Amino acid sequence: MPDLPSHARVVIIGGGAVGVSSLYHLAKAGWTDCLLLEKNELTSGSTWHAAGNVPTFSSSWSLMNMQRYSAELYRGLAKAVDYPMNYHVTGSLRLAHNRERMREFERAKGMGRYQGMAIEVVGPHDIKPRYPFIETHDLAGALYDPNDGDIDPAQLTQALAKGARDMGARIERFCPVTAVRRERDEWLIVTPKGEVRCEYVVNAAGYRAAEVGRLFGREVPMMVMSHQYILFDEIPELAAWTKEVGHKLPLLRDVDTSYYLRQEKNGMNLGPYERNCRAHWATAGDPMPEDFSFQLFPDDLDRLETYMEDAMRRVPLLATAGLSKVINGPIPYAPDGNPLIGPMPGVPNAFEACVFTFGIAQAGGAGKVLAEWVTEGATEWDMWSCDPRRFTAFASDKTYCVAKGMEVYGHEYAIHFPRHAWPAGRNRKLSPIHDRIAALGAQFNAYNGWERATWFAQPGDDTSEEATQTFDRDGPWQRRIREECLAVRDAAGILDLPGFSRFRLQGEGAREWLSKQITGVVPKPGRIGLGYFADDKGRIVTEMSIMSIGEDFFFLITAAVAQAHDFEWLMKSFPQGTAMSLTDATETFTCQILSGPKSRDILAEVCDGDLSAPWLTHQPCRIAGRWLQLVRVSFAGELGWELHTKVDDTAIVFDAVWEAGRKHGLKPFGMFALDSLRLEKAYRAWKGELSTDYSILQAGLERFVKWDKPEFRGKAALLAEKQQGVKKRFALMTLDNPGPCDAPYMSTVWSGGQIVGETLSGGWGHRVDKSIALGMVRSDLAEPGSKVEIEIFGERFAVTVHGDAPLWDPENSRLKS
Ligand SMILES: Cc1cc2nc3c(=O)[nH]c(=O)nc-3n(C[C@H](O)[C@H](O)[C@H](O)COP(=O)(O)OP(=O)(O)OC[C@H]3O[C@@H](n4cnc5c(N)ncnc54)[C@H](O)[C@@H]3O)c2cc1C
């Protein structure tokens, strides 16, 4: 083997399943001049000891997509690269102990069907025929996933490595990366064997990703858990059964109890995600060793005892087997449990493919996604759920990461309910009026770390976590959300909205530059408007409110969670060496929403601004002697203003408005009410309707496209799409006879026995008293009056399509009043 090459187009740091899959997919994309550097031997991190389960199930559309792709890839991989390996597609049974779990399964079945997978949901009596050794008396049913299975993680990695090498990519083992340098638009990767110059670099260092991240000055938001599985001796009865039927048992997951149980040869493998879990290397007194290759933590069976007992009650055969071995290894967690795949925040030409908790099941899909990021700068599927930029600086704090990681691990199989707020790692960023809002009964959730009110409870309302464990629309919150929405309709509501991301764009040429970035018109000074940013394929990258302060002076305002993503998107095409500047001003300003027909009367008492200024204008003015920018817009779809103040002035302005408003019926309202109000107006939400899965035209945003502009990003693709005809369109739909639940994200839309679209958000509209779903449907069905069906948790509901116009105040007369 020749020496370390001096140059490669891409260097991948880390040779686990994910790093090697990334190399394989880069080579497959034609980028064969790529080099993987591994500190020790391939698989020596988490990969070698992984149990190798390859589920396709997920309640997230994008993760399911990634896992489905992996399973499909693995099925053909041995043959494709000529490397035999053990991959058993056994199917799996996921047990449900209650109705809500069955609903979760029905939803996953619907998503799976849409992705071409024949997932089944079965009753308790259909479980035993598939798994004869199980006790089912206390079960509500199960999900059967025929694609689930297990693979040998080391063989998988070696197969991918062979495939990559055969295409010309290189792997250098026992070659730790010890430093990196940026020199003339290139990376210099330093190792004991020499230096490699490259264009792009990928951090695929698994549980060591934080250490590698620091070489780039990046604090990767992650922590490390200890995770165990127990291997049991051969069970003669199981051996006899397997011999008789000629196959293994399906993998069993008792998700409500929190473990999986898999047949391993003729024994069993039990892997719990225990509540009383343990973080590793989480404190200064417990540092990560310099080298932990091919090593394990000591067994810690006490933590697993209750799960073993439960599994032995569920599958009594297990109690007859001796325990043969315990595997206890490191597994990394990001604060939301999803991996990091995509651009490394703030670092040019650097990417992340790390912090995988299910890195064997996801390696295939992750490699595809990573390779697309590197080679095309964009991915086929919207992968926001895994984008490293979903976390901003606050999330790298170690105590936060440990608290969140332990929470996610301990609830690895938990159902994610729409009204539930996870309690760990909270109160990281508080509005100056947080206590005032809390005193009014606010229930909170975190948005990019910022605590915002979701709904306002009254004395006696059940605000327990248990109450939120349902997909039902009804719950203690529903009456209050309705009161809040009706207050906004009939009088006025106020919502403190800390953390709106805000960028200041200033300097000669700013207007011209901005015009090339958005599809539509840049508002004139004194006005505000929505700007849509498309990628080269015409897909929606983001939406920002553009507040034009002067000819070449703007504030660009975007979702709280979009802060890092959107700033980076702008910076990528921001020219250097000009008179223009672009800075993040998020921490300096804040916003309160005042909306409702009485909002003018309220402001008239406290504000010196011109309250007759029309919709979509803004002006500086004063309340209680404090400066604010008074912006005449309303995401709630009523007469209203946003009060943009300095953060320090939040309390003074709030108090003045609150005091003046009470006699006008002013009420506080929360994010849940705002969501209901925006659904009635068909306003699209960031990464709900506004995602790269859809083009600007599909999203029904053509009125924001100025075709006669000489140049804007995505123009050619959008023109081509317009000429060819838009195949799928945004539509607001209402359920004719709604059931107990509104349509969750990615429910399938049916017509004539065919899937014709999907929902993106759903909820109850209190002003129109309807269950509303926003979604995408085949273009011929997107017209008002069309009749379709939406499948909600396995049940189909008749639906009327209303096109893309608002259901509430379609003429916007209330907004403009
Ligand atoms: C007990 C247990 C059971 C598991 N079971 C499953 C399962 O059934 N299914 C599943 O999907 N997942 C499972 N996992 C999780 C799975 O093991 C990981 O998600 C997966 O292995 C991650 O792969 P990776 O390539 O991202 O990281 P790793 O396998 O950890 O690879 C990272 C590599 O980077 C190298 N590296 C680090 N620093 C440097 C450096 N400076 N220079 C060069 N190289 C460096 C390391 O040596 C290592 O080889 C399990 C984990 C545990 C602990």
| pLDDT of 715 | 97
Strands (E), 240-307: 251-254, 259-264, 267-272, 279-280
Which band of pLDDT confidence, cut at 50, 70 and 90, is reported for residue 512?
very high
Residue 678 has pLDDT above 80, yes or no: yes
* Under 8 Å between Cβ of 308 and 334: no
Read off the amino acid at residue 793. F
pLDDT at residue 1 is higher than 60:
no
Q: Is the dihedral of CA 484, 490, 496, 500 positive or negative?
A: positive
Q: Which is nearest to 257 in space by CA: 102, 90, 411? A: 411
Query: Contact, 151 vs 55, CB < 8 A?
Result: no
CA nearest ligand 1 atom 20, residue: 359
Model confidence pLDDT, tens digit, residues 271-306: 999 999 999 999 989 999 999 999 999 999 999 999
What dihedral angle (degrees, nearest 10) is formed by the CA atoms of 464, 467, 473, 478? -40
Q: Which atom of ligand 1 is nearest to the CA of 212?
A: 41
The pLDDT score that the predictor gives to residue 2 is: 57
Q: In testing the pocket of ligand 1, which one of 47, 87, 327 has its CB within 8 Å of the most ligand atoms?
A: 47
* Cα separation, 224 vs 229, whole angstroms: 16
Determine the distance separating the centroid of ligand 1 and the alpha carbon of 358, expressed in angstroms.
9
Q: Taking a C-beta distance cutoff of 8 angstroms, is the pair 497, 483 a contact? A: no
For residue 175, which atom of ligand 1 is closest to its CA?
A: 43
pLDDT band at 221 (very low <50, low <70, confident <90, very high): very high
Ligand 1 atom nearest to 53, measured from its CA: 8
Give, for ligand 1, the residue of 224, 356, 408 to mutate: max count of ligand atoms closer than 8 Å to Cβ. Answer: 356
Nearest residue CA, atom 52 of ligand 1? Answer: 50
What spacing in Å lies between the alpha carbon of 46 and ligand 1's midpoint?
Answer: 3
Cβ burial 738-775 (10 Å sphere, 16+ → b, else e) = beebbbbbbbbbbbeeeebbbbbbbbbbbbbebbbbbb
Atom nearest to 206 CA in ligand 1: 27
pLDDT tens digits for 114-173?
Answer: 999 999 999 999 999 999 999 999 999 999 999 999 999 999 999 999 999 999 999 999
How far, in Å, is the centroid of ligand 1 from the Cα of 36? Answer: 15
* Mean pLDDT score, 49-53: 97
- The confidence score (pLDDT) of residue 3 equals 80
- For residue 321, is pLDDT > 90? yes
CA distances from residue 779 to 683, 697, 784, 786 in whole angstroms, order as listed:
19, 11, 11, 11
Q: Best mutation site among 22, 171, 208 for ligand 1, i.e. most ligand atoms within 8 A of its Cβ?
A: 208
Q: Mapping DSSP to helix (H, G, I), strand (E, B) and coil, where does residue 639 land? A: coil
This prediction's pTM: 0.97
Model confidence at 814, in pLDDT bands (50, 70, 90)?
very high
- CA of 181 from ligand 1 middle (Å) equals 26
CA of 193 relative to ligand 1 center, distance in Å = 23
Compute the average pLDDT of residues 657-670: 97
The kind and range of the H/E element at 343 are: strand 340-343
Residues 433, 410: Cα–Cα separation, whole Å:
33
What percentage of the chain exceeds 70 in pLDDT? 100
- The atom number, within ligand 1, closest to the CA of 40 reads 47
In this model, does residue 110 exceed pLDDT 60?
Answer: yes
Distance 43 CA to ligand 1 centre (A): 7
Query: Given pLDDT bands bounded at 50, 70 and 90, which one contains residue 711?
Result: very high
Mean pLDDT of 574-591: 95
Share of the chain above pLDDT 90, in %: 99
Span from the CA of 296 to the centroid of ligand 1 (angstroms)? 12
Ligand 1 centroid distance, CA of 417 (Å) = 30
Nearest one of 556, 591, 582 to 447, comparing CA atoms: 591
* Atom number in ligand 1 closest to CA 260: 8
Site to probe by mutation for ligand 1, drawn from 11, 12, 39, 46 as the one with most ligand atoms within 8 Å of Cβ, is: 46
- How far apart are the CA of 369 and the centre of ligand 1, in A? 18
Angle between helices 61-81 and 359-376 (to 10 degrees): 90
Residue nearest to atom 21 of ligand 1 (CA): 47
Q: What is the pLDDT of residue 298?
A: 95
pLDDT in tens, 410-440: 999 999 999 999 999 999 999 999 999 999 9
Within 6 A (CB) of ligand 1 lie 13-19, 37-40, 44-47, 49-53, 176-177, 204-208, 212, 227-229, 293, 327, 329-331, 354, 356-361
Mean model confidence pLDDT for the chain: 97
Nearest CA to ligand 1 atom 12: 358
- Classify residue 550 by burial, with Cβ atoms within 10 Å: 0-12, 13-18, 19+: exposed
CA dist., res. 181 & res. 195, Å (int): 10
